């Protein structure tokens, strides 16, 4: 497995480890680059906001010394006006900083999510053999949200407080070097509990998120299996287990709240204790005439600004570390290259499509099962318009033939050709555009019938969609839905039966109008009536197309031009149904097994001799 492929992990998304490699965050520069103008505006607003805060301290000093001290009412009036103007400027600059920085944060995270999703949907199935889907989803959501907090908030907070720290420290020294020395003796005492106790608060915060995630995961699993829950009368057990998880989340949340409350109380005690001490010392300096009352007022103001800035920066460092860890995981996804890619100079498939398929000396091992060959020495040629059935026991390699033809994987040896072109030399999108798939378990998206059928060809009109649905015998149930084709079909098509889902999948394939049709056990799990409707739709769909059928019903096999019998990754026999029965071997044994089962069932229901007509398929 390539080193860039993320290893599947069981870690909870809420408990992401932080990373001290803050250099990972430099990769954000590429996503920030398109938004230079709002970034410049945000930086300007940030600088103005920090400058006005520092200016307030100087205004406070002037107001106390020259307004109160000199008893100048006119100066006091002017000072209040100036203070109002400065405050208005501060409010405007703060608005600009908050809006622009938040906008950039949201925009960058949206771009990152799109980039990650664009990369993920291009990755080959091998990636998903070793990576959990939930892990990918958590990176798309939780990790990107951490970055949004940093880009849209933490970075601007850090820069603003850095400016306030530097400017405030300079103003402290200018105002009173003696008291400045005292401040820098006190600041570490205030920071120590913040850093030590803050870690406990963060651990409890992550633990609290873990418990909330446990609640969400259990509820999600239960709700998706509600019919099974109720069928087995499991509601009391699930209620008790859910309640236990709720109480665990509540207990952890209370511990977090208690720790944060204690931390807040300790910080307030230390900060105001330190301020009181400095005021006491500074007050004696004022009485002794060493500094003015305005200087003391300004000094206290700047001391609070500096202390607050240091505390804010220490909090931001934790956010930056967690964001660096998130960026590292996102970079793993963005750096994962798909194994199935378009060649630099793809060979064009011939027009018009013919649907000729060929396998030549194909050897293939699944990446997750390198010890056993899924296909070995496969030589196969399917003529345009031919109907070919693939039969054999489970694990024989039938579905693998489909996956190689769709170029989800490339064989380790040999070649797969479509219309005479090696698939490795062609554009995968062009190859798949000529193939239609009707799977055993059709995928129905949480949308209406229009969108589900249009999935086969996104530019299709409603008239074309309806024509495809009519050909698939789907209109007979779609028109009866409350809003007809516009009815939402529910998550995973929960409002449809198995046969109705299959007919939606067939309509999707008809709309695609493929040269090659792949039918993967399309009627294996249907009742007799649904099978009849689906089979009629399939018969229409197969006309004039090269069709490969993984067969579970002999009714389908008998209509095929040729049957391939597969076992352990090899083709062991080929011919028509009658020829294969005469040859004996695996096909004859499987057919006899099914016929015997049919006879036994028929014998239980009637005294008449059973009908030996082949109405069941070879597995």
Q: pLDDT for 37-69, tens place per residue?
A: 888 888 888 888 888 888 777 777 776 766 665
Quick check: is 468 in a domain? no
Please tell me what DSSP assigns to residue 484: G
Q: Give the phi and the psi of residue 471 in degrees, each rounded to 5.
A: -65, -30
Higher-confidence residue of 290 and 599: namely 290
265, 290, 315 - which closes a domain = 290
Q: Is residue 356 part of a domain?
A: no
Last residue of a domain, one of 233, 262, 290: 290
Integer Cα distance of 266 and 62 in angstroms: 33
Sheet with 570-575, strands from edge to edge, namely: 435-438, 516-520, 546-550, 387-391, 562-567, 570-575
Give the span between the Cα atoms of 168 and 160, in whole angstroms. 12
Residue 146 lies in a domain: yes
Instruction: Give pLDDT, residue 57.
Output: 75
**Rounded to two decimals, what is the model's pTM?**
0.63
Query: Is there a single domain that holds both residue 255 and residue 278?
Result: yes
Give the pLDDT of residue 21.
57
Q: Rounded to the nearest 5 degrees, what angle is found at the Cα of 145, between the Cα atoms of 139 and 148?
A: 130
Q: Picking from 157-171, 174-188, 234-248, which range would have the lowest pLDDT averaged per residue?
A: 174-188
Q: For residue 15, what pLDDT band results from cuts at 50, 70 and 90?
A: very low
> Which two structure tokens, joined as six digits, stand for 360?
């030549």
Q: How far apart are CA 350 and CA 283, in angstroms?
A: 92
Instruction: Report the SS3 class of residue 348.
Output: coil
Task: Taking the CA atoms of 53, 311, 330 and 201 in sequence, report the sign of the dihedral they define.
Answer: negative
And the tokens for 619?
Answer: 């597995």
**Is residue 156 domain-shared with residue 206, that is, in the same domain?**
no
pLDDT at 607 over 50: no
Looking at the fold, whether 163 and 131 belong to one and the same domain comes out as yes
The mean per-residue pLDDT over the stretch 289-306 comes to 80
Residues 254, 167, single domain; the answer is no
Q: Please give the C-alpha separations between residue 576 and each of 4, 394, 522, 562, 593, in angstroms, as whole numbers.
A: 48, 21, 21, 5, 18
Q: Is the peptide bond before 352 cis (omega within 30 degrees of 0)?
A: yes
> Pick the residue with more confidence: 300 or 599?
300
Looking at mean pLDDT, say which of 31-45, 134-148, 238-252, 331-345 comes out highest: 238-252
In angstroms, how far is the first alpha carbon of the chain from the final one? Answer: 33
Q: How much is the pLDDT for 191?
A: 72
DSSP string, 389-450: EEE-STTSSHHHHHHHHTTSS--SEEEEEETTEEGGGS-HHHHHHTEEEE-SS----SSBHH
Which pLDDT does position 416 carry in this prediction? 92
Report yes or no: 546 and 356 within 8 Å, Cβ to Cβ: yes
Residues 91 and 194 in one domain: no
Cα dihedral 127, 132, 138, 143 sign: negative
What is the structure's pLDDT at 359? 92
Decide: 327 and 139 in contact? Cβ < 8 Å: no
Look up tokens 């809003």; give the residue. 483
Higher pLDDT, 30 or 21: 30
Does 576 fall in a domain?
A: no
Rounded distance between C-alpha atoms, residue 512 and residue 518, angstroms: 13
Residue 185's alpha-carbon distances to 182, 202, 224, in angstroms, are: 5, 27, 59
Helix (H) or strand (E) holding 286: helix 235-287
How many other C-beta atoms are found inside a 10 Å radius of the C-beta of residue 174? 14
Same domain, 129 and 83: yes
d(Cα 157, Cα 313) in Å, to the nearest integer? 8
472 contacts 507 by C-beta, under 8 angstroms: yes
Residue, of 1 and 167, whose pLDDT is higher: 167
How confident is the model at residue 318, as a pLDDT? 65
What's 335's DSSP letter? T
State the CB neighbour count (10 A cutoff) for residue 42.
23
pLDDT reported for residue 23 = 61
How many percent of the chain have pLDDT more than 70? 83
Question: What is the number of domains present in the chain?
Answer: 2
Backbone Cα Rg of the chain: 36
Q: Are residues 335 and 200 in the same domain?
A: no
Find out whether 172 and 180 touch, Cβ atoms under 8 Å.
yes
Indicate whether 148 and 22 sit together in one domain: yes
pLDDT at site 458: 84
Give residue for tokens 């194909």: 362
* Residue 399 to residues 101, 231, 243, 559, Cα–Cα distance (Å): 51, 33, 44, 20
CATH number at residue 141: 1.20.1560.10
Taking residue 352's Cβ as centre, other Cβ atoms within 10 Å add up to 8
Q: How far apart are CA 93 and CA 99, in angstroms?
A: 10
User: Taking 50 as the threshold, does the pLDDT of residue 480 lie above it?
Assistant: yes
Q: Do 23 and 116 share a domain, yes or no? A: yes
Using the CB atoms, write b or e for 227-263: b if 16+ within 10 Å.
Answer: eebeeeeeeeebeeeeeebbebbeebbeebeebbeeb
pLDDT, position 213: 66
Asked if the structure places residue 192 within a domain, the reply is yes
Is the pLDDT at 596 greater than 60? The verdict is no
pLDDT mean across residues, the chain: 77
Domain membership of residue 243 (yes or no) is: yes
Same domain, 335 and 214: no
How much is the pLDDT for 478? 87
- Residue 365 CB-half CA count within 13 A: 9
Average pLDDT over residues 430-447: 84
pLDDT band (50, 70, 90) for residue 14: very low
Better-predicted residue by pLDDT, 216 or 612: 216
Q: Which two tokens stand for residue 109?
A: 């995270």
Please choose, from the candidates 526, 586, 574, 517, the residue with its C-alpha nearest in 3D space to the C-alpha of residue 548: 517
- Structural contact between residues 25 and 320, judged by C-beta atoms closer than 8 angstroms: yes
17 vs 14: CA distance, rounded Å: 9
Q: What is the mean pLDDT of residues 392-418?
A: 87
With a cut of 70, say whether residue 185 has pLDDT above it.
yes
pLDDT at 133: 64
Residue 87 lies in a domain: yes
The β-bridge partners of 570 are 567
Residue 394: is its pLDDT beyond 50?
yes
Q: Same domain for 67 and 154? A: yes
- Checking if the pLDDT of 381 tops 70, the result is yes
Residues ≥6 apart with Cβ < 8 Å to 174: none
The DSSP string of 485-537 is: GGSB--GGGTTS-HHHHHHHHHHHHHHH--SEEEEESTTTT--HHHHHHHHHH
Question: What average pLDDT does this structure show over 323-327?
Answer: 74
Q: How many helices (H) and strands (E) does the chain have?
A: 21, 10
Domain carrying residue 66: 14-175+326-339
> What is the C-alpha separation between 363 and 378, in angstroms, rounded?
7
pLDDT in tens, 484-531: 888 888 777 777 887 888 888 888 888 888 889 888 876 665 666 666
CB 618 within 8 A of CB 591: yes
- Classify residue 361: in a domain, yes or no: no
Alpha-carbon distances, residue 70 vs 67, 75, 292, 293 (angstroms): 6, 9, 12, 12
- Decide if 354 contacts 406 (C-beta within 8 A): no
Looking at the fold, whether 91 and 202 belong to one and the same domain comes out as no
Residue 96 CA to residue 101 CA, distance in Å, equals 8
Q: So what's the pLDDT on residue 603?
A: 47
Beta bridge partners of 549: 389, 519
**In the structure encoding, which two tokens stand for residue 411, read together?**
């064989």
């Amino acid at each position: 497995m390539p080193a860039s492929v993320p290893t599947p992990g069981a870690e909870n998304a809420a408990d992401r480890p932080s990373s001290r490699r803050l250099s990972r965050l430099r990769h954000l520069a590429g996503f920030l680059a398109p938004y230079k103008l709002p970034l410049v505006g945000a930086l300007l607003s940030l600088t103005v906001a920090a400058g006005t805060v520092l200016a307030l301290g100087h205004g406070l000093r002037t107001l106390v010394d020259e307004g109160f001290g000199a008893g100048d009412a006119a100066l006091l009036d002017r000072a209040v006006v100036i203070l109002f103007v400065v405050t208005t400027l501060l409010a405007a600059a703060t608005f600009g900083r908050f809006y622009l920085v938040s906008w950039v944060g949201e925009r960058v995270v949206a771009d990152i999510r799109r980039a990650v999703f664009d990369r993920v949907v291009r990755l080959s199935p091998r990636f998903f053999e070793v990576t959990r889907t939930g892990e990918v989803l958590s990176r798309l959501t939780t990790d990107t949200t951490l970055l949004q907090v940093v880009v849209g908030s933490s970075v601007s907070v850090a820069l603003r407080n850095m400016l306030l720290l530097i400017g405030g420290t300079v103003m402290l020294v200018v105002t009173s070097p003696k008291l400045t020395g005292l401040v820098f003796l006190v600041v570490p005492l205030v920071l120590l509990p913040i850093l030590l106790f803050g870690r406990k608060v963060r651990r409890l915060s992550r633990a609290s998120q873990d418990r909330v995630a446990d609640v969400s995961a259990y509820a999600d699993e239960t709700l998706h299996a509600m019919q099974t829950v109720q069928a087995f009368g499991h509601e009391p057990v699930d209620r008790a287990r859910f309640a236990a998880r709720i109480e665990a989340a509540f207990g952890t949340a209370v511990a977090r709240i208690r720790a944060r409350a204690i931390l807040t109380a300790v910080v307030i005690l230390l900060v105001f204790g330190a301020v009181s001490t400095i005021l006491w010392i500074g007050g004696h300096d004022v009485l002794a005439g060493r500094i003015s009352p305005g200087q003391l007022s300004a000094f206290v103001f700047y001391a609070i600004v500096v202390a607050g800035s240091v505390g804010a920066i220490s909090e931001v460092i934790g956010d930056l570390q967690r964001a660096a860890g998130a960026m590292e995981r996102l970079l793993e996804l963005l750096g994962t290259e798909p194994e199935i890619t378009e060649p630099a100079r793809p060979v064009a498939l011939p027009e018009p499509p013919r649907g000729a398929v060929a396998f030549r000396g194909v050897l293939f091992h699944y990446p997750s099962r390198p010890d056993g060959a899924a296909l070995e020495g496969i030589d196969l040629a399917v003529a345009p318009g031919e109907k070919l059935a693939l039969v054999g026991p489970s694990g024989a390699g039938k579905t693998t033939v489909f996956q190689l033809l769709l170029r989800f994987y490339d064989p380790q040896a040999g070649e797969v050709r479509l219309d005479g072109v090696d698939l490795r030399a062609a554009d995968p999108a062009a190859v798949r555009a000529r193939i239609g798939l009707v799977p055993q378990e059709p995928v129905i998206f949480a949308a209406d019938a229009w969108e589900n059928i249009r999935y086969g060809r996104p530019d299709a009109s409603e008239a074309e969609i309806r024509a495809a649905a009519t050909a698939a015998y789907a209109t007979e149930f779609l028109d009866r839905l409350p809003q007809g084709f516009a009815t939402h079909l529910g998550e995973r098509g929960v409002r449809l039966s198995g046969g109705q889902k299959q007919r939606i999948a067939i309509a999707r394939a008809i709309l695609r109008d493929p040269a090659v049709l792949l039918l993967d056990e399309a009627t294996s799990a249907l009742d007799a009536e649904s099978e009849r409707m689906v089979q009629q739709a399939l018969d229409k769909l197969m006309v004039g197309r090269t069709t490969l059928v993984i067969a579970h019903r002999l009714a389908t096999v008998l209509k095929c031009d040729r049957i391939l019998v597969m076992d352990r990754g090899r083709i062991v026999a080929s011919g028509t149904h009658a020829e294969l029965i005469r040859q004996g071997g695996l096909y004859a044994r499987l057919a006899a097994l099914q016929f015997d089962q049919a006879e036994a069932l028929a014998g239980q229901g009637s005294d008449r001799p059973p009908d030996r007509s082949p109405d069941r398929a070879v597995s």
